[in-house]
């Protein structure tokens, strides 16, 4: 979590971007009939104006190149060979993913806020690798491994000193569906660098295209621990363009509810494919 100034700045920045995307993303290619004139019925030789362009744009269905990722987790749908994506969440968190082969992709990310404050805490970063592909009709299977490096204050009375700690995990991913409508179940084990977690790490996620260019996304993480289970839930929408997607959602868990809002923390993210 970052300072309220960072959150407010990120929200203001992405709200402007969201406005531009909503207005312009549908206009990359309009239907041919909306460009000029269309003929009147056969018994009338007069030409009449075509439907307004804005109507045609709203009904145009963009392609969806973002089916490999939810808000935080990944599906088992692989990136194509040579395809990549760049994702920015609330300005500070930046990740990149790239398809090295049709079945192997790699990715990584870094948090800018912690990087600029590296004199107080170590930068937050992560790396990830995934192998998998389609094993049946609309059925995908993958294995992924990731490592997340986090700062940890070594002495609460001396905030200028910090020690780094990391968490790694290996998970199996099963996805049924396609880039537009899909459901994913994942499971595996995590390790904090010293000990293996005493319970599994589980994830369930889904994405469903409800309008031509709007997709509903839900995501749920659960770490089973004999002493205390940890759960995080996300819900929101994705506005889909041909090369750019905007995510608006809320993430909630018990600890977060006590520090931000009782209903969770809102977030905005933009994903650009290349």
Domains of the chain, by residue range, sit at 4-273
Burial of 198 (0-12, 13-18, 19+ CB in 10 A): exposed
Structure confidence by residue, pLDDT tens digits, 258-272:
777 778 889 999 999
Query: In CATH, which superfamily holds the domain spanning 4-273?
Result: monomeric porin ompg (2.40.160.40)
Task: Look at phi and psi of residue 215 and say left if phi exceeds 0, alpha if psi is from -120 to 50, else beta.
Answer: beta
**Measured on CA atoms in the order 111, 115, 118, 123, is the torsion positive or negative?**
positive
For 218, 219, 240, the CA distances from 210, given in Å and listed in that order, are: 13, 17, 11
DSSP secondary structure string, 47-100? EEEPPPHHHHHHH-------TTB-SSSB-SPPPPTT-EEEEEETTTEEEEEEES
pLDDT at 151: 67
State yes or no: pLDDT of 124 exceeds 60. yes
pLDDT at 92: 93
pLDDT confidence of 79, banded at 50, 70, 90?
very high
DSSP reduced 3-state for 217: strand
Q: Check residues 180 and 164 and name the one with the higher pLDDT.
A: 180
CA pair distance 131, 128, nearest whole angstrom:
10
Structure tokens at 52: 């307004």
What's the pTM value of the predicted model, to 2 decimals?
0.73
């Amino acid at each position: 979590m970052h300072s309220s100034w960072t959150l407010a700045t990120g929200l203001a920045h992405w709200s402007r971007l969201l406005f531009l995307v909503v207005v312009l993303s549908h206009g990359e290619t309009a239907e041919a009939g909306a460009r000029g004139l269309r003929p009147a019925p056969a018994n009338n030789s007069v030409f009449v104006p075509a439907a307004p362009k804005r109507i045609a744009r709203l009904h145009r269905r963009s392609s969806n190149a973002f089916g490999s990722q939810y808000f935080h987790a990944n599906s088992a749908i692989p990136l194509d060979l040579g395809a990549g994506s760049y994702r920015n969440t609330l300005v500070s968190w930046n990740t990149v993913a790239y398809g090295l082969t049709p079945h192997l992709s790699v990715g990584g990310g870094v948090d800018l806020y912690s990087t600029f404050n590296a004199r107080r805490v170590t930068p937050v970063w992560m790396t990830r690798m995934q192998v998998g592909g389609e094993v049946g009709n609309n059925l995908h299977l993958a294995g992924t491994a990731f490592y997340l490096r986090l700062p940890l204050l070594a002495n609460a009375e001396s905030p200028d000193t910090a020690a780094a700690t990391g968490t790694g995990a290996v998970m199996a991913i099963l996805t049924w569906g396609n880039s537009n409508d899909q459901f994913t179940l994942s499971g595996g084990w995590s390790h904090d660098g010293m000990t293996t977690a005493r319970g599994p790490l589980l994830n369930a996620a889904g994405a469903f295209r409800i309008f031509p260019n709007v997709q509903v996304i839900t995501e749920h993480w659960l770490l089973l621990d004999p002493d205390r289970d940890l759960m995080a839930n996300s819900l929101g929408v994705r506005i889909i363009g041909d090369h750019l997607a905007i995510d608006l959602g809320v993430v909630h868990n018990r600890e977060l509810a006590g520090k931000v809002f009782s209903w969770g923390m809102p977030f905005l993210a933009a994903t650009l494919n290349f």
